[in-house]
């Protein structure tokens, strides 16, 4: 159990929500690749709080500093450490929570695990830990781009409102990050309503990788499905993941869901681009269930550390729907997972085939 | 990428469907625990082909031999190697498949990955690889039992037929392994119909772990959700996984899905027993989407290795619904995952708390 | 802590000296390579007891069976499991040792670690565990040969008798496996004398890898020196390792030991082929200190499990000097280490450069 | 291959000699332990350049900043990131080295490996990378202290001058860090002579761990000897390691080197506290061969990146004997290795036995 994801492209995050900083080490970035601080900052800005009316109003510049592994704009093959200082912490907001365990949060489980905890903002369990993942994901995206692989993502459901289109360029044009402009409007209305009720609502995000050649992944324990599932359910607030046809496919027949392949093209994509754990050349499609954010502004019953319960209202600034901010994290984790699989395939075959 | 799952309780399988044998090494079984060959054989018999009218009729005794790590009936703390010889292989059935890639199967992806493959029965990608997992899972179950943790599982959906009860002792009383006797009958009728059509149908299995204390898991990359998701989607034919409220929860509000805890009991279990990646003391509940088996008896269009397509009917003995046989594999992978998390928590806290 | 060595070329051994079998899984053998059972058996025969008058007279055929990962004589890219049955065990010889801890052996430490032990022949701590390493090493040698890398080894010191020549083909022509024919004779006389005294004597083995291109290894934690040192000191009875100039170099000046390189050739090899943890294109040279075998036929004072001491003479068949049999194990571990480093470099650079 | 050491107590360094900073993440520090910045700074000051007349005169404050994992002076069980900014870099000194490969250094091997390099001060291969190790080692020492384990170290040979005493408190009283006051004076004279000749000289350091209970380590691949050997030879400028009797023992007989144990005490310590890879309750004793520093002020022949050779004098500030500064690094790596073994043993036995 550790804070590291990946074995050849290794991403290790550190930092608590209300500590001095959060950050990441990426160990395994191939050498000689261009590393642009702007590209990293661009992804961090997509994850940043306060970016729109429907995200938390915590203000963090989230300015990244590269500490190592890059020389004259190129990766050295050495660990790339990246640092983001915490600035707008308002730890006082959390004073009332020092001795209680918030429902839905990791407070009680964390205390049971370690016997000690930093109650301010969830400490290590805060969504703020994903800053490091997004920075690392920017590097993974840059590395994958050199072999023609791209990753896109968006919010495809909020509450019961579903996106029908997959018009990916729409994603950065609406605050919900929905690839369907019409659905985006309905989703936004719903999120604003939920926000005004001091509540939160869940949703589903979808991630797609294009250009992945057949052959990445593994047939058994490290199936690409398994690695992607681990990547996704390591993101805070996620409680489900499906590949390709996913749960819907369970109601169908094999004669419907066996994707017919003519050697170049697939007629369907129930497999979500992964057959027997190995990429099959089709688009890789993953959907992730994002639960309603556990931080809400309503009064809630909380267990006290010393026994008994108490009704507490959590001050602080919350996200009514976390999906728009989970999208860049999901993309990052998908890119990281694929980058790791790519390097493994290079080890196995001795080249980029 | 490897054939190993786990870091402290490490399970490494080997073997192809039509090779001499399949098996597993379990490295990390705590020392001094009773190891009963019968308990391992019992689990293997639950996974075995030919066990009922609705599973494949391939006949394998699947008799396990313990090769190491056990002395006078007790684990030594050394690797426990277990071997199952393949016997009823009928490799001839696969001659027609030597030069084609079956739709839905890993054939093409495997060839793209390795440049070489054993076409007989799917080789390493065969469900037969799970023999080793089930044997390892029997050890994990035995180890967990010493700290009061048990794992149960069953088929809770086939096609569109859902189980409503969770009467777990029912599971071994019907061939579908459904915890709802009434639903089991409907499921069986459906599976027989599908079998007679030489087709297959998907379903959902559910796995429940009881007795897991709060504190197992990790807050970030190795969240218990993530580890369980990886475990589940490493099982052949799975394409989705959800924890607790899962996808259904995405349509709800935080005020509904934040499980209220009074310090001893939870009012609800939307978190599926895991908060922020760490067990919270509640039952751990996982559901897995099992796709319709890709092996079907209908004629299908297949890509030829040398280009072009061909219509081929796959001889061989197929499972019309793989769910009943995935249940013991799912239980095994859940037990293995929990055993690993348990040992990690012992390292962190220095004892079984 | 585990029974596995390597991360991309992973070797996992199993088996106790007096259990049913010993063996190994090799996970990560590149696909499409020729795998010859004779080549594996050849290496096992070099390690086998009873091969000459100066090794233990335990008789083991050590016949290897390949259980998986090979199809039509080629590696599939899947785990290759190999099994050797134990046959000539004479466990009775060890009855007197059930309740005592032999000096020099791992008996007491093992019992302290696990609280349980298989006292027969040292169980897992027996030199017999190296059967699996040697089988795995044969695969590593075959894989390395495809990129022009070879590994040789020999005994270069026994007691105070040193080899001066490095005439490697001599190694298989004398029972000491010494690359210096004259020294071999003196060593043999010494070993026979020690054997007749029911004692044992230590020595040094040297291992050389040729053809390793510059660029394998890592600059920090996984320096190639570090990996080789771990590989060597994981072999039973070893207590020291040095690379290139090693300990002797500590008495010299930098102006003497900085190997001058003209871009093609090195004037000297104090670095032993590894600069800053990375292969530099020169021969890789490793020497390993092998202690006198702890199993001797003289009466010895032993601690009793229940307290107090007792004088016991260990029956059984001992090696007066273990060096000749450590040579193939050392070669195997060197080949395994290099194979792992090679695959890592393929991942980093995307090809065999 | 990575910049990480350890599996349960994981130490990951980052940073180049002439980049913005060096540092480390320690993932796996047990929760609830006191973490004192002064204790970390104390160890860094022992490693710091410019601390005496016989070390390099590069001036680095090496002030540590803790970025995460500590709250109110206690470890949280989360990753502890520590940062040290580089300040006195004088990169200009290295301009002459941009296109040549220094003899003895990793320059050529690094370029062969990555195809790109930061030539300034050796980049990642600089001894400066060990800053992170020493900071991590301070945490490991603090953790081990809670179970009564301490680590000491010193220089026991420089050139041909050997220490005879092991009066450990002497170590911090002389600039050579020698545990023998008389030998220290001779060593100092030798080092000053070598310094004045613009040359360097090698030596041996010895590390001792006290209070390690029997039972830490592993019987096969992860023998404690193997882990310690990897730890030591991952330190820059080391080329040999021996445990207990080491190389000297190879000239002796088993009847001499089998340490007799009466159940409480050992008569001798040829095993160096480790039997069959597992700690046996005796002091753990490790010696490390440190080569003469490759950075010297004499003119040297260097290969040019574009072919041919050139005679170059390396400007910069060098250590005439690196041993005094390797001592704290060696202690750190020993403490890290033992901490990892301790946590593994907790996982295996469920408590601190």
Q: Is residue C144 over pLDDT 60?
A: yes
* Interchain contact B260–A (C-beta under 8 A): yes
DSSP, collapsed to helix, strand or coil, labels residue C46 as helix
Half-sphere exposure of D59 (CA within 13 A, CB side): 0
- State yes or no: pLDDT of B92 exceeds 80: no
Closest Cα to residue B25, out of C15, A54, C258? C15
Q: What is the pLDDT of residues C223-247, one digit of tens each?
A: 999 999 999 999 999 999 999 999 9
Query: Which residues make Cβ contacts (< 8 Å) with residue C64, sequence separation at least 6?
Result: C37, C40, C41, C44, C82, C83, C84, C135
ipTM above 0.90, yes or no: yes
D346 with B346: Cβ contact below 8 A: yes
pLDDT tens-digit readout, D205-240: 999 999 999 999 999 999 999 999 999 999 999 999
The pLDDT assigned to C233 comes to 98
Quick one: pLDDT band at residue B93, thresholds 50, 70, 90?
Answer: confident
**pLDDT value, residue D151:** 98
Burial of C264 (0-12, 13-18, 19+ CB in 10 A): exposed
Residue D311 tokens, joined: 């005679």
Residue in C4, C230, C246 nearest the CB of D239: C246
pLDDT score for A334: 98
Q: What is the pLDDT along chain A (353 residues), one digit of tens a residue?
A: 899 999 999 999 999 999 999 999 999 999 999 999 999 999 999 999 888 888 887 777 899 999 999 999 999 999 999 999 998 767 777 777 888 999 999 999 999 999 998 888 788 999 999 999 999 999 999 999 999 999 999 999 999 999 999 999 999 999 999 999 999 999 999 999 999 999 999 999 999 999 999 999 999 999 999 999 999 999 999 999 999 999 999 999 999 999 999 988 999 999 999 999 999 999 999 999 999 999 999 999 999 989 999 999 987 778 999 999 999 999 999 999 999 999 999 999 987 64
- pLDDT tens per residue, range D264-316: 899 999 999 999 999 999 999 999 999 999 999 999 999 998 999 999 998 77
C-alpha distances (whole Å) from D239 to each of B136, C240, D230 are 42, 11, 11
Helix H or strand E encompassing A43: helix A37-47
Minimal Cβ distance to B246: which of A231, A240, A271: A240
Q: Please tell me which residue, C98 or A101, carries the higher pLDDT value.
A: A101
Cβ contact, residue pair A350, C348, below 8 Å? no
Q: Which uninterrupted H or E stretch holds B152?
A: strand B150-158
- Dihedral of alpha carbons D313, D315, D321, D327, sign: negative
Average pLDDT, chain D: 94
B49-53, B260-264, D157-161: segment of lowest average pLDDT: B49-53
Inter-residue contact C129 to C152 (CB < 8 Å): no
Distance from CA of C71 to the nearest CA of D (A): 29
Beta strand pairing status for A299-304 and A309-313? antiparallel
Percent of chain C exceeding pLDDT 70 equals 99
Residue in the block written with tokens 């601190």: D352
Check pLDDT > 90 for residue D51: no
For the segment D168-182, the average pLDDT, to the nearest whole number, is: 97
Q: What is the pLDDT of residue D352?
A: 60
Residues 6+ apart with CB under 8 A from A335: A137, A140, A141, A144, A151, A209
pLDDT at C217: 98
CB of A328 closer than 8 Å to CB of A47:
yes
Q: Is A68 an 8 Å CB contact of chain D?
A: yes
Distance (Å, whole) CA C242 – CA C228: 9
* Strands (E) located in D189-291: 203-210, 238-243, 274-275, 278-279, 284-290
Distances (CA, A) of B205 to B161, D13, D100: 12, 43, 63
**Best residue of C6, C350, C352 to probe chain A, by most A CBs closer than 10 Å:** C350
Q: How confident is the model at residue C352 (pLDDT cuts 50, 70, 90)?
A: low
**Cβ-based contacts of A30 with chain C (< 8 Å):** 348-350
Residues of C in contact with B20 (CB under 8 A): 65-68
> Does this model's pTM top 0.95?
yes
Summarised one tens digit per residue, pLDDT across range B46-75 is 999 888 888 887 777 899 999 999 999 999
**D295 and D199 Cβ atoms separated by less than 8 Å:** no
The whole-number pLDDT of residue A352 equals 61
HSE-CB at D243 with a 13 A cutoff on CA atoms is 37
Flag whether residue B28 sits within 8 Å of chain C, measured between CB atoms. Answer: yes
CA neighbor of D348 nearest in space, from D211, D215, D228: D215
Is a pLDDT exceeding 60 seen at residue B353?
Answer: no
Q: Which of residues 90-129 of D touch C (CB under 8 A)?
A: 101-110, 112-115, 122, 124-125, 129
How far does the CA of residue C340 sit from the closest CA of chain D (Å)? 9
Q: Where are the alpha helices (DSSP H) in chain B?
A: 37-47, 107-114, 130-145, 181-196, 224-233, 254-257, 323-349
Question: What's the rounded Cα separation, in Å, for the pair A124 and B73?
Answer: 43
Give C193-197's long-range contacts (Cβ < 8 A, gap of 24+): C194/C159, C194/C320, C194/C321, C194/D253, C195/C54, C195/C320, C197/C298
Contact predicate D285/D243, CB 8 Å: yes
């Amino acid at each position: 159990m550790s804070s590291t994801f990946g074995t050849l492209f290794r991403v290790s995050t550190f930092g608590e929500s209300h500590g001095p900083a959060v950050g990441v080490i990426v160990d395994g970035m191939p050498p000689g690749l261009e590393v642009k601080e702007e590209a990293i900052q661009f992804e961090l800005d997509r994850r940043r709080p306060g970016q729109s009316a429907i995200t938390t109003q915590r203000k963090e510049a989230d300015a990244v500093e590269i500490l190592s592994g890059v020389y004259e704009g190129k990766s050295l093959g050495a660990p790339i450490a990246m640092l983001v200082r915490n600035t707008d912490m308002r730890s006082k907001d959390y004073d009332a929570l020092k001795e209680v365990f918030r429902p839905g949060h990791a407070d009680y489980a964390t205390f049971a695990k370690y016997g000690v905890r930093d109650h301010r903002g969830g400490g290590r369990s805060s969504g703020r830990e994903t800053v490091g993942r997004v920075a690392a994901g920017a590097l993974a995206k840059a590395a994958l781009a050199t072999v023609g692989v791209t990753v896109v993502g968006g919010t495809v459901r909020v509450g019961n409102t579903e996106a029908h289109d997959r018009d990916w360029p729409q994603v950065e044009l609406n605050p919900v990050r929905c690839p369907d402009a019409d659905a985006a409007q309905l989703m936004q209305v719903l999120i604003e309503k939920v926000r005004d009720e001091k509540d939160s609502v869940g949703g589903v995000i979808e991630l797609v990788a294009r250009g992945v050649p057949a052959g990445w992944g593994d047939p058994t324990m490290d199936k690409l499905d398994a690695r992607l599932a681990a990547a996704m359910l390591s993101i805070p607030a996620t409680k489900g993941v499906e590949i390709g046809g996913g749960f819907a496919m369970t109601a169908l027949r094999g004669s419907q869901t066996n994707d017919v392949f003519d050697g170049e093209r697939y007629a369907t994509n129930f497999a979500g681009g992964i057959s027997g754990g190995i990429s099959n050349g089709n688009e890789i499609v993953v959907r992730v269930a994002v639960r309603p954010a556990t931080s809400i502004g309503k009064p809630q019953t909380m267990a006290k550390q010393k026994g008994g319960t108490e009704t507490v209202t959590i001050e602080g600034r919350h996200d009514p729907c976390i999906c728009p901010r989970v999208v860049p994290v999901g993309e990052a984790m998908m890119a990281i997972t694929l980058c790791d699989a790519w390097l493994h395939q290079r080890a196995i075959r001795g080249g980029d085939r």
